[in-house]
Structure 1
C-alpha cells in the first residue's frame, strides 16, 4: 500500500486546535523535498529488460532476491552516501524516502517490490508538481464528523483484486469491517490492519470526483480490546496518487463506496 506521508499524533486536547495543527503538519509533509509531490516516476524493471531506464542513471537489473545496480563514476550515483563505480545488490527500501540507499544530488532512487515485481522510484525535489503546489484544501473541523465505531475482524484475512491508480489490478489485503452510523443509518467499510494496529480504509462517497478527489483514505487509530474505535472523518486523507500520477494506490474495493457525502477532511490539491 502507498504511504500516507506525514501522519502524526497530537496531544493537544482542544479538538479544533488539534486538527489545525495536524492539517498544517500534513501540508508541510506533502510539500517536503521528498514528499509525494516529488515522485516523478515509478519504473517497473520488467519493462526494461536491458536495464536502462530513461532519465535514470545506471543499469538496473532485477533478480529473485534483489536489484543489481551497475554504474560508472561519471553517472554520479551515490550508494549509502558514497560514490558508486561498479556493482551493488539492493533490497527494497523500507524507511523514509530521504533515507533511501541510492541518490544523485537531491534525487532519491527508491527500490520497491510489489507482488514479486521490482521497480525503481525517482523522487526529485525539483519536480513540476512540487513547484506548482499551493496547499491541500480541507474542510474545517466539525465535531459532528467524529463518530463512534466498532471494528469486526474477519476470522482470517482476505485478499481481493482491485484496480490500482496505474490501471493494473493487484491484491488488497483486508482484515475486517469498520461499522459506524451517520444520521441513524449504519455503514460499513472493509479495512486493513496496519503493523501498528491502526486501521486503513480506501473509500469513495457522494463527493468523490465532484468536490473531492475520486477516492480517499481513512486511517483510524487502533481499536480498543472490545473493538470500539473513534471514526474521525475530519482526518480523511487524499491518497498519494492525488499528488503524483506515479503512485499505484488501490481503488476502493467492492462495497467501500458510501451512499452519503463525506463533506469533511482533505478534499483536493490546490496548484498554481
Structure 2
C-alpha cells in the first residue's frame, strides 16, 4: 500500500503536465522551465491531497475494498456462519455465528455460544436488536479479533448483511487509482436551481432496486458554448451529490458512472462543480456493494476527461478464511 508515496512523487510532474489547464504559460524555448503561479500550485496541492485522502479511505480495514459478502435475508429466520451447515453461509468468521430472526419489521440476533463476537468492543451475549444502516446508531458486529465485521443494510423493504474483512483480497491486492491530469478548466462554475417544491429522484441501483432520493434542485453549467444540467441529490447538511455518466463512461471511466460531492451553494446559488474530483462508486472495486446508477437526466452528451479513471482490477486470490 505505497500508493500515497507514489502519488506524492508524481506531484511535480503533474504540475508541469497541467500548466495549460491551470492557465500557466507554455514552456519557453531553449528548455527553460515554465513558471507555475501560486494559484496553480494551490489547486494542484489541494487536488493531490484530495486524491491521497480518497485512496486512504478506500483501503481502510473497514473501507470499500474490504467487502467480502452481501447476503439478502429472504426467510423469517437464518442461521449464519462460515460453516457448511449454516443456512446463510459467510466467506469469513466463526463456523456458527448465530441466529437472525425477523419479527414485525425488526431484526433480532442471538449469538452462538463461543462465537467470540463483539459490539463496540463489548462481548455479544444474549439476544440483541440489530439496527440497520438507516438507523441513527447502526449495529456493527465484529469478529476475528476485530478484523472482520458484519452489519445490516436496509434497502426499501429489503434487508441484507454486509460482511467486511481486513484481509480481503480486494484490499490486500488493491491496484491503486488512476486519474486524468488535474485541470482547472474542469473546475466549472455552476448555478444551483432549486426545485420548488423540492422533488424526489427515482434511481435504480446495481442490484436492480429502485431508490427514492431527495432532489432539491439541479446544477446548470456551460462547457464549450453548450449548456448542461445535472440533477442533484440532497444531503442533510446542505451539500449535494451528483450521480452522473458521460461520454467517457465505459471508454476511460467506470462504465456505470461516477459521483461528485458538491458543497452547499451560496445564497445566490453559485457553486463550483469540480469534475477533477469525480470518483468511482464502490461497485467499481467490489461486487458486494449496492450503488445508485445515474438517472436518465444525468447522462451527459459530453466527454469529461477529468477525475478518476476506470479501476484496473488485479486477479483476486481466495478470500480470508474461505
Shared fold per TM-score greater than 0.5:
yes
TM-score (norm. length: structure 1): 0.87
Assess if the C-alpha contact under 8 Å between 1:100 and 1:108 holds in 2. Answer: no
Q: How does 1:1-272 map to 2 (within 5 A)?
A: 14-45=42-73, 47-52=74-79, 53-55=88-90, 57-64=97-104, 66-93=106-133, 101-105=140-144, 106-214=147-255, 215-272=257-314
Q: Could you tell me how far apart the structure 1 residues matched to 2:104 and 2:220 are?
A: 41
Would the alpha carbon gap of residues 90 and 203 (structure 1) be closer, same or farther in structure 2, given more than 3 Å must change? Answer: same
Would the alpha carbon gap of residues 195 and 262 (structure 1) be closer, same or farther in structure 2, given more than 3 Å must change? Answer: same
Assess if the C-alpha contact under 8 Å between 2:130 and 2:139 holds in 1. Answer: no
Task: Tell me the secondary structure at the aligned position of residue 290 of structure 2.
Answer: coil
Q: Could you tell me how far apart the structure 1 residues matched to 2:244 and 2:140 are?
A: 34
Q: Rg bigger for which structure?
A: 2
Assess if the C-alpha contact under 8 Å between 1:135 and 1:271 holds in 2. Answer: no
CA positional deviation for 1:100? 5.1
Q: Could you tell me how far apart the structure 2 residues matched to 1:192 and 1:231 are?
A: 14
CA positional deviation for 1:51? 1.4
Task: Tell me the secondary structure at the aligned position of residue 17 of structure 1.
Answer: helix
Would the alpha carbon gap of residues 163 and 107 (structure 1) be closer, same or farther in structure 2, given more than 3 Å must change? Answer: same
Give unpaired runs (5+ residues) of structure 2.
1-39, 80-87, 315-322
Q: Aligned pair count?
A: 258
Would the alpha carbon gap of residues 44 and 224 (structure 1) be closer, same or farther in structure 2, given more than 3 Å must change? Answer: same
Give unpaired runs (5+ residues) of structure 1.
1-11
Assess if the C-alpha contact under 8 Å between 2:134 and 2:154 holds in 1. Answer: no
Segment of structure 1 superposing worse, 141-150 or 125-134: 125-134
Pick 1 or 2: higher relative contact order, CA cutoff 8 A, min separation 6: 1
TM-score (norm. length: structure 2): 0.75
Segment of structure 1 superposing worse, 193-202 or 151-160: 151-160
Give the alignment's Cα RMSD to 1 decimal.
2.2
Assess if the C-alpha contact under 8 Å between 1:153 and 1:175 holds in 2. Answer: yes
Would the alpha carbon gap of residues 122 and 22 (structure 1) be closer, same or farther in structure 2, given more than 3 Å must change? Answer: same
Q: Could you tell me how far apart the structure 1 residues matched to 2:134 and 2:148 are?
A: 17
Would the alpha carbon gap of residues 100 and 243 (structure 1) be closer, same or farther in structure 2, given more than 3 Å must change? Answer: farther
Q: Could you tell me how far apart the structure 2 residues matched to 1:185 and 1:252 are?
A: 21
Assess if the C-alpha contact under 8 Å between 2:99 and 2:112 holds in 1. Answer: no
